[in-house]
Structure 1
């Protein structure tokens, strides 16, 4: 299995990657600011579930299909970009209102969890990134490559969770302050819509 030096190096690299501005942490920040801390945490859990899917795909060799097939890459890219444009449309139409609680709030959180999964899984760049990133820290002489990939994926999830949860708490605090003003929340929704459009264009223009 993995040796301690590999684990330390991999976790350090993973934390730095999570801190670097990118679609995932911007997505978490936006959801936290608009819907609150819990929303950011749940969205993070959805994104990390997507990371688990990508990890399993690499371990089983499925991700190689998206690296070699232009058609598969394009299909997933269109799905991901289309979903983000849909979220942008919803954000632009949203009106300023208090963050829901109780049963309505739980439904909202479930939707955000699914949103996080879709956001991550439908980004073909993530799959190809994992295909290139994980093997650098795996060693065939140390046992099963599949188990090593799964272990590395688990470490990446823990590292990303630490960063994204911190982002959720900080942005959620800002969101609580903004939620006192329907006008401020409307502005924040428009900003979220612009962010979604930007993320959608980023995915739509990604090259194989």
Structure 2
């Protein structure tokens, strides 16, 4: 029983540890609303499932033994963050110049969040280090069991992300007012993307 309590407690703790996914979720929710935030949560969940599968079959261990592969993924992820940040700044400039119309919720919320998570090699290392600790010694099918454990952990952490969306939405509604919060939120998203890109590449 204590083993399961430790597992669920650990998942909840990791769910609320600030990181790229949390910052991304908050910024998109504040900028584009609760609907976009929930699409981000689903995208991050699907991206994390890719890392769960990689960790379950043991392929994530390659990242520990191959610095070149790890760096390739790291630069790809950081480069994608920088691209998103620069593209966001461009859209803000275009909207400010009156060249185009602003869309309150972009359909790329899911796709972007999926790629943001998939291109983070540290997620694979996290699941590789985390889920084997809770693998029963008597497990007849360890790969399948690791997948199940990882999926449950991912689901619990996604519930934490969903709660963050709700909290961010409430803060946006009651504390930020109804002025230019969308434009300010878009600018915050761009800055966060650029900062995260630098952290991923140089961190």
Aligned pairs (5 A) from 1:1-208: 4-93=1-90, 94=92, 95=95, 100=104, 105=105, 108-109=106-107, 111-176=108-173, 180-181=178-179, 183-206=180-203
Measure, in 1, the Cα distance between the counterparts of 2:63 and 2:137: 23
Structure 2, unmatched stretches of 5+, are none
Measure, in 2, the Cα distance between the counterparts of 1:98 and 1:6: 50
Q: Deviations over 1:58-108 (max 9, x none)?
A: 1112111111111110111111011100111122232477654xxxx5xx2
Measure, in 2, the Cα distance between the counterparts of 1:52 and 1:6: 23
TM-score (norm 2): 0.87
Measure, in 2, the Cα distance between the counterparts of 1:205 and 1:31: 24
Structure 1, unmatched stretches of 5+, are none
TM-score (norm 1): 0.85
**TM-align CA RMSD:** 2.0
Measure, in 2, the Cα distance between the counterparts of 1:144 and 1:5: 23
Tell me the CA shift for residue 185 of structure 1. Answer: 2.4
Query: Which is richer in helix?
Result: 1
Q: Deviations over 1:96-135 (max 9, x none)?
A: 77654xxxx5xx23x1111111111111111111111111
Q: Deviations over 1:6-33 (max 9, x none)?
A: 3332121011011111111111111111
Measure, in 1, the Cα distance between the counterparts of 2:182 and 2:33: 11
Measure, in 2, the Cα distance between the counterparts of 1:38 and 1:175: 13
How many residue pairs were aligned? 195
Measure, in 1, the Cα distance between the counterparts of 2:202 and 2:126: 16
SS at the partner of 1:46? Answer: helix
**Contact 1:84–1:200 at 8 Å: present in 2 too?**
yes
